[in-house]
Structure 1
Amino acid sequence: MRGLSVRWSLADAPAGAAQELRDYVADASHARFSGMTGLRFKTWRMREGEWFEGTYVFVSDEARAEFEAGFRPNAGEAPVSKIAGSGPVLIEPFEVVAIAEGWDGFASSPRG
């Protein structure tokens, strides 16, 4: 499996950016990526006032490369870039060695 991390700094983000990011994920981004072809899963992570990150796991090198090729040229105009006040500070491909799902499984709702 192939992964991609995209991270934005929130160090200089406008006041209220953390809540705006939560709302964006719940109202738009979660639905956009749910059921996306070639994507195994995506997580949204944040350390308020520090950084916000999208972490993607794709089924293949090709799926990751296709997504990255479409995202990278316009990353500075992405909705998260507009909310954070700047483009990503990191776009990093990586290998996923394995995933273990715990007894309680995944909770995928952005509001709960």
Structure 2
Amino acid sequence: MFGLSVRWSLTSAPAGALEKLRAYVEDESFTRFANLPGLRFKTWRAREGEWFEGTYVFVSAEARQEFQNEFTAAADQAPATLAVGVAPVIEPFEVVAVVRGPAGFRSAPRFEQ
């Protein structure tokens, strides 16, 4: 599997930036990526005051590269870039394996209400 990490620093972000990013994920991003061809899954991760990240896993190197090219070309206008005021660091990676534990898999609790 073929992954991509897109990470924005929150160290100089304006107050409330992470809450804006959470709302963006809920209101727009979640649905957009639920329908992205070639995407196996995406996670959104954050550490308050440190970073906000999208982690993507694609079915093929070609699908990852196509998304990476499109994203990189528009990264300066991405909602997260505009919210935090800095461009992201974009890193492709290999996914060696994924395991689903006995507790199963859930979206964020906010999406399950």
* Cα deviation 1:50-72 (Å, max 9, x = unaligned): 00000000000000000001010
**TM-aligned CA deviation for residue 36 of structure 1:** 1.8
TM-score (norm 1): 0.95
1:73 alignment partner in structure 2: 73
Unmatched 5+ stretches in structure 2: none
The structure with the greater share of residues assigned to helix is 2
Paired AA for residue 43 in structure 1: T
1:99 alignment partner in structure 2: 98
CA RMSD of aligned residues (A): 1.1
2:13 alignment partner in structure 1: 13
| CA shift in 2, pair 1:96/1:37, >3 Å | same
**1-structure distance, mates of 2:45, 2:27:** 16
2:30 alignment partner in structure 1: 30
Q: Determine what percentage of the aligned residue pairs are the same residue.
A: 62
**TM-aligned CA deviation for residue 85 of structure 1:** 1.2
**2-structure distance, mates of 1:54, 1:87:** 13
2:50 alignment partner in structure 1: 50
SS at match of 1:55: strand
**TM-aligned CA deviation for residue 110 of structure 1:** 6.1
**1-structure distance, mates of 2:77, 2:60:** 26
SS at match of 1:107: coil
**TM-aligned CA deviation for residue 108 of structure 1:** 1.4
Unmatched 5+ stretches in structure 1: none
**TM-aligned CA deviation for residue 111 of structure 1:** 1.6
